[in-house]
Amino acid sequence: MLNLSLSGRIGLFGGTFNPLHNAHLLVAEKALAQFGLKEVIFIPCGIPPHKEVADGVTKEHRYEMVRRAIAGHPRFSVARIEIDRDGPSYTIDTIRALTGKYPEGMCFIVGADLLSQIDTWKEPEALLASVPFIVAPRDGIPRDIFAAPPFDRAEIHFLAMDEVDLSSTWVREAVRNGQDYVSHVPPVVADYIREHGLYRKLTPAIT
């Protein structure tokens, strides 16, 4: 059933995407279908403010995996706004930079696990007030926490889908341990990982 409250808006889908996997694409597709979004723009994080990028994978590698994975989808695109920005990537800065560019309005797509840590984000109250949020349910994150402060002042919409239990961390560990990961990422991402020998050893990133 289509929820028209966000119809025609641009969905901003931020993340490290290290690597992008099938659940990322599924979340974006569900957001398009359930809320009638005009487009989903993937925004790979340049320098995450909370953690190092695992396994020595550069931001250009992560950007390129997203670009290749979405190339065949006419309503998906990828932006370099955080890849090209100096210093840490903060979501509130990105939303402010894009305000006015999309007169149809924006919303932000995020996993429940990340949104539940909003107190660690830059200017959390301003961020929650800036745009509506489309939230992907994650295993172990109860929805009722988003009815309590500070989330009670935000516009939050949950995707109607099974809880997401696939993570980029799991994919990286599967590659490193020689386990099957190919069925969990787009074929072009699997090819890119093999081509560049990514995730074979644990090292800090070189951006």
Determine contact, residues 162/171, Cβ cutoff 8 Å. no
Domain span at residue 21 reads 4-195
Instruction: For residue range 189-203, list pLDDT tens digits in order.
Output: 999 999 999 998 765
Position 206 pLDDT exceeds 50: no
Q: What CATH number did the domain enclosing 161 receive? A: 3.40.50.620
Task: With respect to residue 167, please indicate whether it lies within any of the assigned structural domains.
Answer: yes
Domain-embedded: residue 146 = yes
Summarised one tens digit per residue, pLDDT across range 33-91 is: 999 999 999 999 998 876 666 667 999 999 999 999 999 999 999 999 999 998 899 99
Angle, in degrees to the nearest 10, between helices 187-196 and 59-70: 150
Would you say the C-alpha torsion 89, 149, 37, 164 has a positive or negative sign?
positive
In a domain, 207, yes or no: no
pLDDT, tens only, 136-169: 999 899 999 999 999 999 999 999 999 999 999 9
Q: What is the pLDDT of residues 32-41, one digit of tens each?
A: 999 999 999 9
Q: C-alpha angle with apex 49: 188 to 65, nearest 5 degrees? A: 5
The pTM of the whole model exceeds 0.85: yes
The domain total for the chain is 1
Residue 9 covered by a domain? yes
201 within a domain of the structure (yes/no): no
In a domain, 109, yes or no: yes
Give the C-alpha separation, 107 to 31, whole Å: 10
Q: Is residue 203 part of a domain?
A: no
Q: Is residue 206 part of a domain?
A: no
Residue 22, CA atoms < 13 Å, CB-side half-sphere:
12
